[in-house]
Amino acid sequence: MLILQINFKLNVSPAEYRKIADSVAQVIAEASGLLWKVWLLNEQDGEAGGIYLFQDEQSLSAYLSSPIIGQIKSLPQLREISAKCFETIPELTVVTRGPIPGLAELKGTNQLYKENKHVAQ
């Protein structure tokens, strides 16, 4: 599973950004292969973005090439847009209770989890 991190600076108030985000949330939710998105907002610094979990590289690549990303890039309300992709580290994520589907199965078989069981409880 892959994580996509998108960050940008706002040229509008946080309230205006929330309206923009609300207008695209359902379209983003329907992206093929997207398991979840966490919306980010730092009102003090005028920054926002999101953390996305995709089931595979094909889904993530398709999303980055999709019309919604083109629309986001063209919004004058946003600037300094950056996107970074990361692989997950399941054996560590299970220890810290990360919301990655399928990690529950690792709890019984993962040596790192067994060694750090007291941390995850």
Q: What is the CATH number of the domain that holds 48?
A: 3.30.70.100
**What is the structure's pLDDT at 8?**
98
Cα torsion 110, 114, 120, 121: sign: positive
CA distances from 39 to 49, 55, 108, 110, 113 (A): 6, 18, 31, 30, 29
45 and 61 assigned to the same domain = yes
**Residue 83 and residue 24 share a domain:** yes
Containing structural domain, residue 34:
2-87
Mean pLDDT of the chain: 89
Check whether residue 43 and residue 23 sit in a common domain. Answer: yes
| Confidence at 116, pLDDT banded by 50, 70, 90 | very low
* pTM score: 0.83
Asked if 5 and 83 count as a contact pair (C-beta separation under 8 A), the reply is yes
9 & 60 share domain:
yes
